[in-house]
Chain A
């Protein structure tokens, strides 16, 4: 299993899976965002990933890297909230890191996503512990070196661990102590990304 490789069809399956998960969970994401943000996270991501799924169905790119670059660009263009440039940068940078390869290994995917997560950190200026999507993304890409299942578990644990944190980035940071006790919406949607990745890898 460790020598298994993943191609463009896998990447499209991943993005379709995220689109379906976001569609299913949009209400929950928006409710979480209503508590400490501006109540648009679910609707924004739903719009963005629906555009991604539609574009990939119409004209599927030939490599997994190209799938992620296309998806990232569309998220930046269509989401309309901060999650657009953040997830867009994650996927676009990861896609560029994968280059022209037609098939990639899980280790290569983990390296590419780690580069994407680093770019997200530079873009938003956040670090783990700030109660952002990085609290789920950072442990998830680390654990992806072990397995897809470990990556999903690490994302879930990271998202759950945002509950007692005080937000230090974004609109939630204006709430100060009142942001404590709420689960971060961005970390929660990051779990959907890694759950869909595990499902896509299973075939």
Chain B
């Protein structure tokens, strides 16, 4: 079913960070019908780290057939998603690691996905968030 919207997965070492960024993105994306976004933060036991199981479950939860954009914080979050994409079969077809700042990229990705943008458009919008300088 290619009529669905792009799903977004937010991967952080911290469950609190991933959950809060998802909440922030939903809040800033405006009202209306938002694209699916899921948090995959920390380890299953609540500790800091990266869980491939939580990432795979989140990706499956938001996959509507139009692709899944994964945004990550740093270190093992980056490497785990890259390893799953390179060698594994744990992630749905059409899953992509998006090169973007975590918070700003999440907002841009959700706005774009909610407006019906395809995976290329969502990835581009999230990456463009790097271009917004603060000083």
Contacts and interface: CB of A to CB of B under 8 A. Distances in A.
Main secondary structure of the interface of B (DSSP, over half): helix
A92 B87 contact: yes
Given A77-B52, A80-B49, A93 B76 contact: no
Interface residues of B, number: 17
B30 interface: no
Interface string B42-84: 0100010111110000000000000000000001100110111
Interface string A77-89: 1001110111011
Interface in A52-84: 72-73, 76-77, 80-82, 84
Given A80-B43, A171-B75, 20 more contacts: A73-B88, A76-B83, A77-B51, A80-B47, A80-B49, A80-B50, A81-B75, A82-B79, A84-B52, A84-B76, A85-B84, A86-B79, A86-B83, A88-B87, A89-B86, A89-B87, A119-B87, A122-B86, A123-B82, A170-B75
Contacts of B43: 80
A176 interface: no
Interface residues on A, range: 20 to 34
A86 B84 CA distance: 11
Contacts of A89: 83, 86-87
Nearest to A171: B75
